[in-house]
Amino acid sequence: MSPKERILEKTAVLFHQQGYSATGINQIIEEAKVAKASFYQHFKSKEDLCVAFLNERHSYWFDQLEEFTAGEKETKIKLVASFDFLIFMNEKENFRGCSFLNILSEIPSDNVKILNVLQNHKHDLRVYFQNIIKDKLLSDHVYLLFESCIIESQLFKSNQFIEQSKKIIQILSS
């Protein structure tokens, strides 16, 4: 693995375990086993590192979602599969929650650089549902249901609300 890849890999682990604010650049450098100069060759600041991490996370997350739901053509089944994806991710990542929302809670409200990345991720998720459901109000409703499932499952370390939401989807898309 290249130094940049090691930095990003270690960043993902540390941001997950400790959070954005509690993770320092020196710790990342040390644990990624790279020279300080190498770190700064790839990232000018912790903020730039965070943006790179979030961009990689965005690509990974949407690739996984698309792969998970790719075989489904019927709207209702694709929507339910999207919620099944949350269960899959919760089990895979031990109810980590949303990396984007986790970081949102740690950055100052005036950090536009990171905020733009966070907003773009959520925008793309809204578009994902709009592409499945042509009714904008209904697609936004499903998006909000999906988002609340992420938060509730992280908070309670349970997929209960996701399972309930799948039943709601059955009713909404009838």
**Averaged pLDDT for residues 31-54:** 97
Q: Is the pLDDT of residue 174 over 80?
A: no
Domains and CATH numbers, the chain: 1-43 (1.10.10.60), 47-172 (1.10.357.10)
Summarize pLDDT for 14-27 with one digit per residue, the tens: 999 999 999 999 99
3-state helix, strand, coil in the chain (%, to 5): 80, 0, 20
Question: How confident is residue 30, by pLDDT bands cut at 50, 70 and 90?
Answer: very high
Q: Which long-range contacts (CB under 8 A, 24 or more apart) does 159-168 make?
A: 159/86, 159/87, 159/90, 162/83, 162/86, 162/87, 162/90, 163/87, 165/83, 166/80, 166/83, 166/84
Summarize pLDDT for 106-156 with one digit per residue, the tens: 999 999 999 999 999 999 999 999 999 999 999 999 999 999 999 999 999
Q: Is the pLDDT of residue 6 over 80?
A: yes
Q: Is the pLDDT of residue 47 over 80?
A: yes
Q: Is the pLDDT of residue 9 over 90?
A: yes
Task: Give pTM, 2 decimals.
Answer: 0.94
Q: Which pLDDT belongs to residue 173?
A: 73
Q: Which pLDDT belongs to residue 172?
A: 83
Rounded to whole angstroms, the Cα distance separating 92 from 87 reads 8
